Amino acid sequence: MLERQEKAAVIVLLCVVGIVLSVHLLFAAFARPLVADTYSEEVPDGALVLLEGNIEEIAETSTGAHLILTVNGTRVFLPENVAATLQLHENENVTLYGVVQTYRGKREVVVASAGDIRVLE
C-alpha cells in the first residue's frame, strides 16, 4: 500500500508528465510557424525552415527506400520512415517543415515526420 507522501509524489509526477505532453503537442501544432524561417539560400545549416511550392520532381534514392523531392528548385529529403507513409505526386502544391543541411555539397531540407508535410488543394 502506498503511503500518503508516495501517493502525493505519484500525483505530482503524473501532473508534470501531462503538462510536458500538452506543451509538446501545442508546440507541434501551433508554434512551428513562429520559430521556422522561410527557406532561402541564406538560411544556415541546422535551421528549421518552412518551404512552400509545387513538387517538380520525385526521385528514389539508390536504395529505393528514401525519396528526394524537388520543390521550387530545392532538394527535399524524405527518410524511409516518412516516405513510406506518404503518397505524393508531381505538381502537387505542398507546405513542409524541415531542417536545412548540406549533403555531398548540395543544400537540402530534411523532413523528420510525415506530419511535417501538408498537401494543399
On whether the CB atoms of residues 58 and 69 are closer than 8 A, the answer is yes
- Alpha helical stretches, state H, the chain: 4-26, 32-35, 80-83
Give, in degrees to the nearest 5, the angle at Cα 48 between 98 and 86. Answer: 15
Q: pTM for this one?
A: 0.73
**Each residue of 49-91: pLDDT tens digit?**
999 999 999 998 888 789 999 999 999 999 998 888 888 989 9
As a whole number of angstroms, the distance between CA 64 and CA 78 comes to 11
> Could you tell me which of 64, 53, 62 has the C-alpha nearest to residue 109?
53
Mean pLDDT of 4-30: 88
pLDDT band at 1 (very low <50, low <70, confident <90, very high): low
Q: For the chain, give the number of residues.
A: 121
